[in-house]
Each structure stands twice: as C-alpha cells, then as structure tokens.
Amino acid sequence: MSWELIPEGSQPGRRPSRNFPWGVPLAVGIVTVLIGMSLLIWPFFAASRILAFLIGAALIGNGIATLVGSRARGFGTPAAILFIVLGVVALAFPELTVSMLVGFVAAMMLFVGTIWLAIAIRMRQALHWVFIAIPAVLVALGIAALIWPSLALILAAFAAGLLTTLIGGSLIWAALALRRGNA
C-alpha cells in the first residue's frame, strides 16, 4: 500500500485494477424487490410479519446490548430481560405487535395534529389555510387509523411496498451498470 494522494487507478484513461463487487448490490436489490413485491401483493400479512420481525429484532438486540453493557456499567439486568421478552413476544404475536404500533401511531397523529391545530388557531395573525389544513388532515388520518387500523396498515404497507420495489429496482439497475462498467 502506498500513501498517495491520487491512487493509481484514478488517473483519467486508466481503469482501476480492482472491480467493485457488483454482486452485492444485485443480491440486495433482488431481496429488496422481493420484499417490496410481497408488500404489494399481500400488504397486511407481509406488513405485519415484516414490522413484527423488525420490532422484535430491535427489542432483542437492545436487550442483548443492555445486558452486555450492564455488566460494564454496573446496571441491573431487569431492563435487558424485559427487552428480550418483549422482542420474543413481538415475534410470536405479529398481529398484536402491529395493531399496537398502528394504535400508537394513530394516537400520535391525533396528538400532534391537535396541538398543531391549536397553535395555528391561536396565531390569528397571518393565518394561512395551510396552517389549518395540514393539522386537520393529520387529525383526520389519526381518527381513520383508529377506526380502521387494518386499512391504515394496508395503505402504509402498499406505499412502502411501492417505494421498496423502486429502491430494489434501482439497486439492480446500478449493479448491472457496475457489471457492464458504465458506472
């Protein structure tokens, strides 16, 4: 290894000696497209499974990190055990996990929308319709999510599936461009 300011392969007209491993973004892109397509085809089932897996894995990971960190800092382990148990419960009961998450998000939308609407109404001076419309829509979406949580999850899963499929497609396109040497 030399300590150059400009590496050998970066001079104009010269190809780098090592190729980028284009298979990695291709594999990630394919998996991402498959996840996105599953969210588009089976939005409720896939969303509940994916969300429950992510939440459960995060809780278990935090529990393990807290357990390892508690020894170094002298904290007790009850919080770590609680995180791990909650993570296992989230993985075991995905529908319950997702319904609680949707309820929490709906309640937060109601709370934030109501506070924002109250502030907008109290401003009185230079009251623009946007300052009333956005929080009103937020409150309406929160109410709709509380009344129809499965519909809210399906719509969110469909939107996430569309976005995830597009991201996966762009990863595949970039990997193939790297393979051809066009990137």
So what's the pLDDT on residue 1?
A: 46
Q: Tell me how far the alpha carbon of residue 101 is from its chain's centroid.
A: 13
pTM of the model: 0.55
For the chain, count helices (H), then strands (E).
Answer: 6, 0
So what's the pLDDT on residue 92?
A: 92
**Residue for token pair 């001076």:** 125
Q: Which residues of 82-114 are buried (b: 16+ CB within 10 A; e: fewer)?
A: ebbebbeebbeebeebbeebbeebbeebbeebe
Taking CA 122 as the corner, what is the angle to CA 121 and CA 125, rounded to the nearest 5 degrees?
90
Q: pLDDT tens track of the chain, all 183 residues?
A: 445 445 555 555 555 545 667 888 888 889 889 888 887 888 777 777 888 888 888 888 888 877 876 665 656 578 888 889 999 999 999 888 888 888 888 898 899 999 988 888 887 666 677 778 888 888 998 898 889 887 888 777 787 788 888 988 998 998 898 888 755
Residue ranges covered by each domain of the chain: 23-178
The residues near 82 (Cβ < 8 Å, ≥ 6 apart) are: 63
